[in-house]
Chain A
Amino acid sequence: MKEYDGLVRIELTLNGEKRTAHVSPADTLLRALRENLGMTGTKLGCENGDCGACTLLVDGKPVKSCYTLAVDVDDKTITTIEGLVNTDVQQAFIEEYGFQCGYCTPGVILNAYALLEETFEPNPEETRTWMESNLCRCTGYEGIEKSVKRAAELKKRAER
């Protein structure tokens, strides 16, 4: 049985690197990443699990970090937006104008990335089901939808 009380040391694989952090059980993963580990790409929005700005990947699955306890991911693999570099998804979002202010974008991109890792060519319903986890106040979602579609095309082309 493992007990976490007071300030505790957790170990995780963050964007491919082994990292440690000292956190309290009361710290959410969102706060721990931004305030202890310097990963400010993950954004703080509603802190209620609604907006998706805090989305990142835990063991490859999109999860909202605002309701995830930092101690809960001790020994897990985390991917934040800082861990995605020159991916097809990011290229597609540039090509298709999938963002405006950019605040929701890290969460949107990570969710889209996870979708395309799981499903080779998602149909519109699958795309909608995944992407409705992220709210955007700027784009009206059409740019995001087109970007995900374009990302799937780029990925398909790259894997041929």
Chain B
Amino acid sequence: MIPFDFTYIRPQSSEEAVTAYRQAKEAGNAALYLSGGTEIVTMARDRKLTFDVLIDLKRLPECRGIDRDQGEIRFGSAVSLNDAQKYGNVPLLSMAAGAVADHSVRNSITVGGNIAGRLPYREAVLPFLLFDGTVEIAGPDGNRNVGVMEIFDKRLKLSAGEFLVALRVPESASESTGYYRRRQKDSRVDYPIMTLCMARHEDGIRAATSGVFGFPVRSRRAEKALSASGTPAERSRNAVEAFDGKVQSNMRGAADYRRALLLQAMEDGLRQLEG
């Protein structure tokens, strides 16, 4: 159990959720939005995270379901990773969502929770970065829709009181089989040391990665290098160097190893996408 007391709130609308957050803050209480809860509960149990109020977003109708809507595919932020994986019409999301944690845990982890949570990998965001997706956000100043590339920089840059309602990709994302590779240190059930999603787009090759730099990233400079002329090996080398960020080195994998994995994956990705 969690070794401190808190209030758990189950709002029935985004407005109620935002109001509950505001009221908690006005009372001087620390409030958090809860989605799947796998991170929050396990961290709270070890007192790595504390709060006075938890506001559960899972049952909000606007945060649930997967729908086709006006040329886009909309994923409610409370859609579980297993449901996102099973949906199948965005193959890269199926692959990325289906690799996180294990199958039972994926019944609890939500797309929104994975992206907005504290763990740095946030692999579910990769296809949304790749396909220029958008996010629907609710907050004290009302609702807004923002491009994922605009609001995601290592993590989702939400203002106080805001939460993720849904994510969208264009329907064209369903036509892209793309390229996906993930590598872990030991077993399949592990954090990634390298995850790469690539897709062929009308403007060239796109690529987004997690695990290598310590955060998910899509780099237009790297994509320019991938889409330039040259052999796959040359373009991949230039692309890896073009990413902003330092390749991380820790117990899971040294920087040289991660760089080599990314390089090889990009090269193989180019060969697959270009035939």
- Interface, chain A (partner B; CB < 8 A): 1-6, 24-28, 31, 47-49, 52, 55, 58, 61-64, 66-69, 71-72, 111, 129-130, 132-134
Contacts and interface: CB of A to CB of B under 8 A. Distances in A.
A134 B261 CA distance: 29
B92 interface: no
B4, B16, B102 interface centre (most CB from chain A within 10 Å): B102
B45 A47 contact: yes
Contacts, number: 95
B47 to A, nearest CB: 12
17 contacts: A1-B20, A2-B9, A4-B9, A5-B7, A5-B8, A28-B2, A49-B42, A52-B102, A62-B107, A68-B41, A69-B41, A72-B37, A133-B102, A133-B104, A133-B105, A133-B189, A134-B104
Nearest to B10: A2
A26 B6 contact: yes
A66 B45 CA distance: 10
Interface string B73-87: 000000000100000
Nearest to A8: B8
A112 B274 CA distance: 41
Interface in B173-231: 187-189
A129 B97 CA distance: 13
A1 B12 contact: yes
Contact of B10 (A4, A48, A49): A4
A132 B108 CA distance: 16
B5 A24 contact: yes
